[in-house]
Amino acid sequence: MDEIKEILKKYPDRRGALLPTLYVAQKAYGWLSQEALEEAAKALNLPPATVKGVATFYAMYKHKPMGRHLIQLCTNVACMIMGAERLVDLLKERYGLEPGGTTEDGRFSLVIMECIGACDRAPAMLVDTDFHADLNENNIFEILEKYE
């Protein structure tokens, strides 16, 4: 709530503060459940339907429960050429992780991203907010094993 109050100070109206508030709600609830959306609406005194409309428009919000860590792997042209699709297969083999899915232990979720602007160092991915590039069949697991 304090965090939301801080956010509210930066915007001319309550509606403007909605996107950052949704991040706060997402952090608190893990994903934007109905309950999380209702809380966000209450915090900003906006109609819940309005909040839901905005939240569902954007891809950066989680609309179902996700693993502790979110892998966002790019498979656009450059990454694809550099073997990103092989990495998708490997993630499935090693963790049983499907695109759009979550591992059974709730450790990782995988989302296939459109270009994340790292074509020069393809293939590339984001894990939560950390950027990792020049991935290959070996170092991807070295990196991922650091995320518990």
Interface residues with other proteins (CB under 8 A)?
34, 37-38, 45, 47-50, 52-53, 56-57
Minimum separation from the CB atom of position 57 to other proteins (A)? 5
Does a cis peptide bond (omega within 30 degrees of 0) precede residue 123?
Answer: yes
Q: Which is nearer to other proteins, 13 or 134 (CB)?
A: 13
Q: Which is nearer to other proteins, 58 or 131 (CB)?
A: 58
Q: Which is nearer to other proteins, 3 or 38 (CB)?
A: 38
Judge contact between 131 and 120, C-beta under 8 A. Answer: no
- Return the C-alpha torsion angle 101, 36, 58, 69, nearest 10: -40
3-state secondary structure of 82: coil
Q: Which is nearer to other proteins, 53 or 106 (CB)?
A: 53
Minimum separation from the CB atom of position 65 to other proteins (A)? 16
Which residues are CB-contacts of 27 (< 8 A; sequence separation ≥ 6)? none
Say how many C-beta atoms besides its own lie within 10 A of residue 64's C-beta: 10
Minimum separation from the CB atom of position 50 to other proteins (A)? 6
Minimum separation from the CB atom of position 49 to other proteins (A)? 4
Q: Tokens at residue 37, please?
A: 């959306």
